[in-house]
Amino acid sequence: KKHLISAADLSREDALRILDTAEELAQVSERSIKKLPTLRGRTVVNLFFEDSTRTRISFEAAAKRLSADVINFSAKGSSVSKGESLKDTALTLQAMGADAVVIRHGASGAPQNLTQWVSGSVVNAGDGTHEHPTQALLDAFTMRRRLGDLAGRRVAIVGDVLHSRVARSNVLLLHTLGAQVTLVAPPTLLPVAVDAWPCEVSYDLDAVLPKSDVVMMLRVQQERMNAAFFPSAREYSRRYGLDRDRMARIHDDAIVMHPGPMNRGMEIAAEVADSARSTIVEQVANGVTVRMAVLYLLLGGSEPAIGGTL
Ligand code: CP
């Protein structure tokens, strides 16, 4: 495949190939080999129209660990502020030569549009409320490392599903990998089309927690929020926040995830986020490895990695 736009583009075989490649890369990294020559001479452009901490840094780190040249573009401070369109920005990048463009954009569908204007691979790093496929891959990788095979595992995804590209990509990928997903949210924070998603829906977090192997908390996206959907932070926290009392309902081997950035004290209590059950920091570290695997597989590295691992 040339691009990674949606988790729905990945067959089970594709997804396992990425996860298995990431596992090999993690093992190489654990042997203290930090840099591989695999993408030497290739250029990766990080094209970020929306803010990011984790995704942007981890794509940069991933490309650099594979020896690619990296160009970071931020809409802030660019000619986008003078009204330049995505198409003209893309044509400029194309003229400079980019083997891969990693794009984050506030408009759902922007990465798909970009594929018309650049000849390199396009990787969706989050588009509007649509998808964030590499987040779903790093989440699946983290779950697999902690829990083994995901087939039959029960995953609760909790909170502001309506605005969450992370939730949509996770539902699609986890379904492909054979896990059973339950979305838990107030009715106002679920998409209208959720009935067509391959998952169950519940409004009762306390009932779902004891049955879950993974509890993934979502950020309440206040910047995209209509006040009518979200009248009170205190009420939200009381019904859908994960605090110490609710943690007592989760079984001993279950893990707690959050893609970040977190609203500590809103959807997740600080002591839960910092507990031994939380994989939040691990998710960030795994993000680099998984994004290395994605770039490697899309760009088809020209040199074998250390020890012929890849
Ligand atoms: N999880 C995630 O996408 O975080 P950033 O917005 O910081 O990239």
- Tell the residue nearest (CA) to atom 5 of ligand 1: 52
Whose CA is closest to 233, among 204, 209, 264, 207?
A: 264
Distance 281 CA to ligand 1 centre (A): 12
Whether residues 137 and 277 fall in one domain:
yes
Provide the 3-class DSSP secondary structure of residue 10: coil
CB distance 221 to ligand 1 below 6 Å:
no
Whether residues 148 and 274 fall in one domain:
yes
Q: Is the ipTM of this complex over 0.85?
A: yes
Ligand 1 atom nearest residue 57's Cα:
8
1 assigned to some structural domain: no
Ligand 1 atom nearest residue 125's Cα:
3
User: Do 202 and 184 contact (CB within 8 A), yes or no?
Assistant: yes
Whether residues 118 and 165 fall in one domain:
no
**What is the CATH number for 304?**
3.40.50.1370
170 assigned to some structural domain: yes
107 contacts: CB under 8 Å, gap ≥ 6: 127, 128
Phi, psi of 221 (to 5 degrees): -90, 80
Whose CA is closest to 124, among 166, 162, 160?
A: 166
User: Do 230 and 190 contact (CB within 8 A), yes or no?
Assistant: no
Q: In terms of residue numbers, what domain contains 154?
A: 133-282
Whether residues 92 and 204 fall in one domain:
no
User: For the chain, what is the domain count?
Assistant: 2
Whose CA is closest to 66, among 97, 114, 28?
A: 28
User: In the chain, what's the furthest Cα-to-Cα distance?
Assistant: 57
2 assigned to some structural domain: no
CB distance 133 to ligand 1 below 6 Å:
no
201 assigned to some structural domain: yes
pLDDT single digits (tens) 60-83: 999 999 999 999 988 888 888 888
Whether residues 63 and 161 fall in one domain:
no
- Tell the residue nearest (CA) to atom 6 of ligand 1: 52
Distance 308 CA to ligand 1 centre (A): 32
**pLDDT of res. 76:** 84
pTM score, whole prediction:
0.95
Ligand 1 atom nearest residue 58's Cα:
8
pLDDT single digits (tens) 10-58: 999 999 999 999 999 999 888 877 899 999 999 999 999 999 999 999 9
Whether residues 118 and 202 fall in one domain:
no
**Which residue out of 49, 51, 54, 72 has the highest number of ligand 1 atoms within 8 Å of its CB and is therefore the one to mutate?**
54
